[in-house]
Structure formats: C-alpha cells, structure tokens
Amino acid sequence: MMDDRNTEKGLGYLLSISAFFLPLVQTVSIVCFILIMIIRLKSKNERGIISGNFFKSPLFWGLPLLYLWHLVGLIWTENFKYADLT
C-alpha cells in the first residue's frame, strides 16, 4: 500500500518536471516520459489496464499508425533533406 502511494507521488513529480521543462529543454521531458512509461509498465496490473485500453479504442491506434505512415514516406522518398526531423 505504501509502495503504491510512493509510486504515484513519483509519477506526479516526473509529470510535473516534464511539464515544466517541455518548453525549455525537451530532452528532460522525453527522459521523464520514458521513466513514467517504464514505471507504469513494471506493474503487471498497469500493463493489463494499458493494453486493455489500447486494444479497445481505435483512437489509440492513430498515433502509432501515423508514425508508421511517416516512416513509410521516409523510406519512399529520395529527398531526405526535406524529411529531416531535427
């Protein structure tokens, strides 16, 4: 029980840090998001909730499909300067 509260506090802190640094230093926000993902996926119960929501809602499929579509476009193109993500 105490571990759950500490985990929730830690996730809240990571999310706050990420929100603060998002307009300033995106790298810190990305690291925070990755840590949040790792912490949430560490728990078996959380994995079940996340995967259940992902497979139930077609809206959650949009972002990975958009990313894959972008990758297909990058493979298809010859103009890699235009496709630079930085």
**Count of other CB atoms within 10 angstroms of residue 11:** 15
Distances (CA, A) of 71 to 29, 36, 46, 81, 84: 23, 25, 29, 15, 12
50-85 per-position pLDDT tens digit: 777 777 777 777 878 888 888 888 787 776 666 565
The C-alpha atoms of residue 29 and residue 75 are separated, in whole angstroms, by 28
The C-alpha atoms of residue 31 and residue 53 are separated, in whole angstroms, by 24
Predicted model pTM: 0.54
6-54 per-position pLDDT tens digit: 778 888 888 888 888 888 888 888 898 899 888 888 877 777 777 777 7
The C-alpha atoms of residue 12 and residue 27 are separated, in whole angstroms, by 18
Q: Which of 1, 11, 5 minimizes the C-alpha distance to 40?
A: 11
